[in-house]
Amino acid sequence: MGRLKQLGLPVQPDKNLSLKTVKTLAKKYDLEGSIIHSDRGIHYTNKDFVNLLEKLKVKQSMSRKGNCWDNAKAESFFSHFKCESIYLMKDKLEDEHDVKLITDEYMDYCINYRPQKFLGGMPTRTYKQTQLSM
């Protein structure tokens, strides 16, 4: 959590963290036409956050109230990502560069090598190549 303080971000998620995160992204990237999906927490439903997204022409997507299944695939992916990489490496992560590196490595693993049960045990890339060659 010390790194969040160094970056000037609050330690606990709140309205300011959500706003600052989107503003930081908007300085680096043109977000027009992007979609931000979230739950219905106050961090994402407050007037300032909604207005910021409208100003940036970002579409806001939210799960239906009380329906966690709306975002089940993303939740499942991030659960695997955290368990298979972040939690294992947490003591070795020193800065955002390390987080980016581990994320890139995990995405490569996930796409090219990680067997996917719902794809018959094939990695995503192999399955896609198989489907394209048919």
Q: What are the pLDDT digits (tens) for 63-113?
A: 888 777 777 877 788 888 888 888 888 788 888 788 888 889 999 999 999
pLDDT of residue 84: 87
Residues 2 and 57 in one domain: yes
For residue 51, the enclosing domain spans 1-62
Task: Specify whether 100 is located in the same domain as 54.
Answer: no
Of the listed ranges 6-15, 16-25, 38-47, the one predicted with least confidence = 6-15
pLDDT score of 12 more than 90: no
- Measured CA to CA in angstroms, residue 45 lies from 36, 37, 39, 103 at distances of 12, 12, 9, 28
Q: Are residues 132 and 72 in the same domain?
A: yes
My answer on whether 76 and 112 are in the same domain is yes
pLDDT at 122: 93
Amino acid residing at 111: I
- Number of structural domains (the chain) is 2
- CB contact set of 106 (below 8 Å; sequence gap of 6+): 81, 84, 85
Last residue of a domain, one of 42, 62, 82: 62
pTM: 0.56
Cα–Cα distance measured from residue 56 to residue 41, given in angstroms and rounded to the nearest whole number: 20
| Chosen domain end from 9, 37, 62 | 62
